Amino acid sequence: MCGIVGILDPAGQASTLRERALEMARAVRHRGPDWSGVWVGDHAVLAHERLAIVGVESGEQPLASPDGTVLLAVNGEIYNHRELRAAHAADVPCRTGSDCEVLLPLYERFGKDLAAHLNGIFAFVLHDTKTGRTLIARDPIGVIPLYLGKDREGRLHVASEMKALLHHCVSIQDFPPGHVLEVGGLAGSGQGASAAPTPERYYQRAWQNAEWIADSKVTAQDLRDGLEAAVRRQLMSDVPYGLLLSGGLDSSVVAACAMRHARGRIEEDERREAWWPRVHSFAIGLEGSPDLAAARVAADALGTVHHGLTYTIEQGLDAVRDVIRHLETFDVTTIRAATPMFLMARRIKAMGVKMVLSGEGSDEIFGGYLYFHKAPDEPAFHQETVRKLAQLFQFDCLRANKSMAAWGVEARVPFLDLEFLDLAMSVATSDKMVRNGRMEKHVLREGFQDWLPGRIVWRQKEQFSDGVGYGWIDTLRSVAEERITDQDLAHAAERFPVNPPWTKEGFVYRTIFDELFDHPDAPKCVPEGKSIACSSPVALEWDRRFKENADPSGRAVLDVHEDSRGRGE
């Protein structure tokens, strides 16, 4: 990951804002500890904090076009950059090894439509000094974070994390995934310095229509081939990489794909006995946790150099405040799962690994959360997958990105590769449904049953915050019960009028959040609402007991989770 910052000044006084941009950049330097860069023009300041993974020696940012008139600051990875270079970089040749530089020739050819040609995870600010135009865009799913703000003079500010905007902006908002914003130049004529930003959607797919029901016969073999191709694309790296391997289905199939690709590279490389390119995998949990045991089984089968890391409940509790500061959320689900991931990221970075592959996105695509067992019909099932994918940028993508970026590690998510996503969302909805004795994500399990041990392929879904050890969630609840009174919770809406917490655990997190992010718009950037096992609020209607047992833990789905069967009748 990297950190980007931009300040746009229509009045042409941007040169006076260099120190402000540097201060903002320092707030996101943890995302890119390898190098810092800044560019100052009449109408814009761009700053970049780099985590060097591709083109390590030549990819410093902000990047400039050959004539120096177009400047670019990017946080992301462009997985199809080689194809794009071959097709579009003849007139504006790329001069570095950075995969992100391909955005410059794409801008010359496609203007603001350039983002539609990218397969990757990204957030960028591109400034054209010839026209005074600036483009801001974010990847379709929102894997990479991006925020907008405006100061009292109406100048637009852009940053990878909200914390960079807090002390400079009177308004702050999430930049929506799959959108592009064009400001200044001809696009800004008549717009005025105080006009509200109006990002335009560039990413549209038929499957995003809630009324659309897939009926194509995508096979388990198709899914396996598609995911293997996605993993191969995302393994582009000039530095050591690793695998997050919890022992659940999603991380295990990503690891299986990665090892098939890496094994071929290792056999051709005389350095195969060195630290890299040997593939290291990482899991974390409390001593004796389900994930640690399952991850060891998967790692032994795949042949990774595995590290089963442990943490204590006390270490987790001590880290919660830092987790909230880095993740910029008070969402209960996210904080529960992010805390062990945050602790793991620090250990990963200490071992010299800068990029990891992770399994986020699969449960949203295939309906893998246990509450999907209760989906009443195909339309409801599909609509929920669409809702969950649209919300990923506020939940799992935010968690994976920011908990890793806190220590200068990049998390890549092959299930959300745009080519694979289109394939997977074309699987017949009837084949995704949990019925006729099939488990959740049956079609995905079927595709990898020959690549992994049966106890991994057919392991029941465990959410990460459960799999690290049930004692973790139970302790978080009990600590909150001791700190927050019933009266405190009853008056939560008075203290927190925007997105008030509805549990004592949520009250604790919200209190910390407000101490760290003292800005009226900060809580508006965080989702809130009742959930059952990570569901959207809409899915609470699927079972009469969901509202009574609403909790993000998978164990809350009575008679589905193995640890809850027989209870709640």
Phi/psi at 143 (nearest 5 deg)?
-60, -35
Q: Of 2, 94, 397, 534, which is the active-site residue?
A: 2
**Which helix (H) or strand (E) is 171 found in, with range?**
strand 171-174
Instruction: Give the residue among 117, 72, 65, 75 at the shortest CA–CA distance from 95.
Output: 65
Question: Sheet containing 200-201: which strands, arranged edge to edge?
Answer: 63-64, 70-78, 120-128, 133-138, 179-183, 200-201
- Angle (CA) 529 534 536, round 5°: 50
Helix (H, G, I), strand (E, B) or coil at 71: strand
* CA–CA distance, 59 with 98 (Å, rounded to integer): 5
Q: Which of 330, 336, 396, 358 is nearest to 145 (CA)?
A: 396
Q: What is the pLDDT of residue 415?
A: 98
Rounded average pLDDT per 10-residue block, the chain, 569 residues: 94 93 98 96 97 86 95 96 89 83 95 97 98 97 98 97 98 98 67 63 92 83 97 93 95 96 60 60 93 95 96 97 98 94 97 96 94 92 95 96 98 98 94 88 95 93 62 93 97 95 96 98 91 82 76 58 46
Confidence (pLDDT) at 539: 84
**Is 2 labeled as catalytic in the residue annotation?**
yes
Q: Please, which residues bridge with residue 157 across strands?
A: 7, 149
Q: Which two tokens stand for residue 120?
A: 């990757």
Would the annotation count 358 as a binding residue?
yes
CA of residue 121 relative to chain centroid, distance: 9
Q: How far apart are CA 366 and CA 303, in angstroms?
A: 27
Q: Given this model, what pLDDT does residue 194 score? A: 46
| Cα angle: 322, vertex 342, 386; to 5 degrees | 105
Q: Is 331 annotated as a binding residue?
A: no
Query: Is 99 annotated as belonging to a binding site?
Result: yes
Q: For the residues of 217-267, what is the DSSP string, one character each? A: ---HHHHHHHHHHHHHHHT--SS-EEEE--SSHHHHHHHHHHHHHHHHHHH
DSSP assignments along 515-566, one per residue: HH---TTGGGGS-----STT--GGGGGGSTTTTTT--SSGGGSTTTSTTTTT
Q: In whole angstroms, give the CA distance from residue 317 to residue 512.
A: 13
pTM of the complete model: 0.93
- Choose among 501, 509, 554: nearest CA to 338: 509
Residue 48 main-chain phi, psi, to 5 deg: -140, 135
Written as one letter, the residue type at 470 is Y
Walk me through the domains of the chain, giving residue ranges and CATH numbers. 3-204 (3.60.20.10), 208-465 (3.40.50.620)
Tokens of 42: 């009449």
